[in-house]
Amino acid sequence: MPHRAGAITVGTDAGRTVVRLRGDVDASLRDEASRALAVALTDGAPVLLDLGEVAFIDSTGIAFLIQCRRACEQTGQACTLRDVPESTRYVLGLLGLDELVGG
């Protein structure tokens, strides 16, 4: 499988902080993920994790989703996932983390 360069960007939309994950979400994005999480927690707005353009996600990417959810819980911010690829849903289910996607 060819590697698709991944990216994590943060923006705002309708009063929410939107964290978009794209391409291969893996260990190469560790620093980018840390910066994105810091930005997402800054203004206290609800956080939306958009996974609609994720081609692949490894354990580092799954850990980022969990870390973001837990950090939002600690700061009282809502955190939801949108457009979760079926392969990612499957992995979250295997790990017993269905609640991350509302399942």
Full set of structural domains in the chain with CATH: 10-98 (3.30.750.24)
φ/ψ of 41, rounded to 5, equals -90, -5
**Residue percentage of the chain with pLDDT more than 70:** 95
How far is residue 48's CA from residue 36's CA, in Å, rounded to a whole number? 12
Has this prediction a pTM greater than 0.85? yes
Q: Measured between alpha carbons, how far is residue 86 from residues 7, 13, 17, 28 in Å?
A: 20, 25, 24, 22
What pLDDT digit, counting tens, does each position of 14-27 carry? 999 999 999 999 99
What pLDDT digit, counting tens, does each position of 35-44 carry? 999 999 998 9
The pLDDT assigned to 5 comes to 83
CB 43 within 8 A of CB 3: no
